[in-house]
Structure 1
Amino acid sequence: MKSSRGILLSVFLVPLACLVALPFYYIVVNTLKTQPETAAQPLALPTSLYLDNYIEVFRDIPVLQSFLNTLYVTVLSIAIMLLIGSMAAFGVLIGRGRLASIVGVILVIAFVVPGQATLVPLYRMLAGVELVDSLNGLVVMYACGSIFCYFLIIGYMRSLPTELFEAARIDGAGPFRVYWSIALPLIRPILVTVGVFQTMWVWNDFITPNVFINSPQKQTLVLQVYTAVGEFTTNWPVFMTLTVIVLIPMVVFFVFAQRQIVSGLVNGSVKG
């Protein structure tokens, strides 16, 4: 019975996996072709390994600078989001007064407001403090994702035994000491899970850098892909090559982090 069920599951999942992998296959094989070959046979395997597309991308496009820009923004943004989200979750969880309840309601309201609806006022605010066209301005924008982190972290925190926090406070530990020494080690699985999700969001985000970044030397990798599309003509093999280069870091990151994602979600469900 179990074997037949596994066979049926494989019959369903293997074609589905092939369907999902088809766009990735299409992009990768066309990075190894000339433009006429791509136009003539887009789904066929390349007749020979044509690596000039990769050479042209690294020669004509500041890929390394854009990679460093993206890495800087992503690492700093994730660190700030996890810190603010976990501190807010801890404060609301152990808070017993009206202020903690009000803050929780405000965060719920802020979470349901679409980010696109706030782009114009946020642009004016950042322009007022000279953070438009700045990588640090992008970090400030992405720090707003702390709300998403807060909701996932507080759900995990509610499953923890609050007696640990109370015992530490009775022993004389202050709120920050309880947070740093007790809460953070206990919520490490959900921090890793949330960090992975937010990393993929920041790395692949297009709207925010497209609105707030103007200088070519400050562009992120996703913006470089966008600018590679010409107004009248586009070298599609070069465009796909740049797309693959942008995807490689996230694919590698996800492969190494997927175990942590599953572990964090499973631990949260078991504790809940």
Structure 2
Amino acid sequence: MLPIAGVVAIPFYYILVNTFKTQPEVSASPLALPSSPDFSNYAEVFESLPIVQSFFNTLYVGVVSIVLMLLVGSMAAYGMLIGRGRFMTFVGMLCLVAFLVPGQTTLIPLYRMLTGMQLVDTLEGLIVLYMSGAIFCYFLIVGYMRTIPTEMFESARIDGASAFRIYWSIVLPLIRPILVTVGVFQAMWVWNDFITPNVFINSPDKQTLVLQVYSAVGQFTTDWPAFMTLSVIVLAPLVVLFIFAQRHIVSGLVAGSVKG
């Protein structure tokens, strides 16, 4: 596994070392270590671009949309688990079809819908769009929920608990590992997404971090040190998140893969 990990780490090494070089050094020896570490690229990026504002924009969109995705996805999974009949089967097939449709094919109708709702060029519009990721949350969570003994639900009903009380007090605490797993996956998607904010956001003060990376790409030339510096700034929070959440990710996926 170590040689494989080394191959995977090469792109990260390539990006990181070139953030400490000038443009001529990057062109002359992109894989070599810098002759003398130069932190001016980071200083220049923070001075010339609204990185802090874009960071908080991305954080706001990410946190709110992920919470809503997990809430909607887990409620849908719980409803499908306790529901019966042809209608629930139809809804399950509809969710499957919706999951198979590429998001890029729906950009034009989505843009028209958000224009009518006056949500284009707003962070709230991005949150509404990202809520479509609840369908992915649903598919992972419903498999995990099937490992929960149904006797627990029946005992709660006998004690007089409503369907929402069972969901809030029993189901949510039990599915916490898969919620963390799905939350990390969706966080990586929202944080790294480029096409959605690029299409629906026009104002500079509402741009996300990924859009700032594209600012280093000119019509004829690319400022590679700035481009890679911005890439490191975008990747750093995700790396930290993944390091702290990796144990929960593995336990959530493994626990939901086997019943009994």
TM-score range, shorter chain: over 0.9
2:90 corresponds to which of 90, 102, 109: 102
Structure 1: segments with no counterpart, 5+ residues: 1-12
Look up the SS of the partner of 1:269 in the other structure.
coil
1:157 aligned partner, one-letter code: M
The equivalent of 2:68 in structure 1 is 80
Alignment match, 1:90: 78
Q: 1:239, CA displacement in angstroms?
A: 1.2
Q: Distance in 1 between matches of 2:213 and 2:233?
A: 10
Report how far residue 110 of structure 1 moved: 1.0
CA distance in 2, matches of 1:40, 1:109: 50
Number of residue pairs aligned between Structure 1 and Structure 2: 260
Who is 2:31 aligned against?
A: 43
**In 1, Cα distance between equivalents of 2:79 and 2:258:** 24
Deviation beyond 3 Å, 4+ runs, structure 1:
none
> What is the CA deviation profile of residues 220-241 of structure 1, one whole-angstrom value per residue up to 9, with x for unaligned ones?
0011111221112222111111
Partner of 2:48: 60
Aligned match of 1:5: none
* CA shift for structure 1 position 72: 0.3
Within a 5 Å distance, the mapping from 1:4-15 to structure 2 comes to 13-15=1-3
Greater gyration radius: 1
Corresponding residue for residue 174 of structure 1: 162
Structure 1 residue 114 and structure 2 residue 91: aligned?
no
Structure 2 residue aligned with 1:136: 124
* Shift, 1:98, TM fit: 3.4
Pick aligned residue for 1:229 from 217, 226, 245: 217
Could you tell me whether the CA contact under 8 Å between 2:147 and 2:258 is conserved in 1? no
Are 1:156 and 2:144 matched, yes or no? yes
CA distance in 1, matches of 2:216, 2:27: 18
TM-score (norm 1): 0.93
SS of structure 2 residue aligned to 1:229: coil
Residues in 1 aligned to 2:12 and 2:203: alpha-carbon distance in whole angstroms: 30
Q: CA deviation at 1:92?
A: 1.2
SS at match of 2:21: coil
Out of 229, 232, 238, the residue aligned to residue 241 of structure 1 is: 229
Q: Residue 200 of structure 1 is aligned with which of 176, 188, 205?
A: 188
Q: Please give the per-residue CA displacement for 1:39-83, whole angstroms capped at 9, x wherever unaligned.
A: 111111111011110110000011000000000000001000000
CA deviation profile, 1:107-149 (whole Å, cap 9, x unmatched): 1121111111111111100010000111000000000000010
CA distance 1:271–1:258, shift in 2 (3 Å):
same
Percent identity between the two aligned chains: 72
2:256 aligned counterpart, secondary structure: helix
Q: Report Cα offsets for 1:83-111 as digits up to 9, x if no partner.
A: 00000011111112433222222211211
Per-residue deviation at 1:255? 0.7
Matched residues in 2 for 1:138 and 1:132: separation?
8
Do 2:143 and 2:257's aligned partners in 1 also have CA atoms closer than 8 Å?
Answer: no
Could you list the runs of 5+ residues in structure 2 that have no partner in the other structure?
Answer: none
The equivalences for 1:15-26 within 5 A come to: 15-26=3-14
Q: Residue 189 of structure 1 aligns with which residue?
A: 177
Distance in 2, matches of 1:98 and 1:234, equals 56
Measure the CA separation in 2 of the matches of 1:175 and 1:100: 16
**Selected match of 2:111 from 96, 109, 123:** 123
AA aligned opposite 1:217: D
Shift of 1:201: 0.7
Separation in 2, partners of 1:75, 1:263: 22
RMSD of the alignment, in Å?
A: 1.1
SS at match of 1:271: coil
